Amino acid sequence: MELCIDNLNNVLETKKLLFNELMTISEFYISYQMFRKLTECVQYLHESDPQIIHRDLKPDNVLITSYGSIKLCDFGLAKEVYNSDSFHMSEVKHTADVGTVDYMAPEAMGDNYNHKIDVYSLSLIGAQIFGFNTIDIKEEKTI
């Protein structure tokens, strides 16, 4: 097992304290690489057979190794989806209200949803990585 020295949430919090300005090219490149690696992790889950829906993607569940590798953790809410039709992902009934509310897709509040709830969470994490406060964005939408 590889030692993970930090999680993405701590990195984002530290980044907020240290850098209150626009990203430099170097910071943007590092952010891009982190987000690219994270999307590859989620893609691997969604393309596996059976498909795996993480259902609790958030910065706290993204670990970072001393070499800068990204590792997903906390698969306690994850679900395997068995689907023989590889071209059409059917919606599946799962337990409603799973995951962390700030990163939860609206459809996860209902009975039927699919792997796209992870994509929604991933987009919020990506926005944070690139310097947007996603909690403010979500609050503005509901007004």
Catalytic positions are 74
Element (H, E) at 62: strand 62-65
Contact 117, 107 (CB under 8 A): yes
Matching residue, tokens 């906390």: 74
**CA nearest to 35, candidates 16, 62, 14:** 62
- CA-CA distances (angstroms) from residue 29 to 36, 38, 74, 80, 129? 10, 14, 27, 33, 11
Contact 78, 51 (CB under 8 A): no
Give one word for 81, left, alpha or beta, with left for phi > 0 and alpha for psi -120 to 50: beta
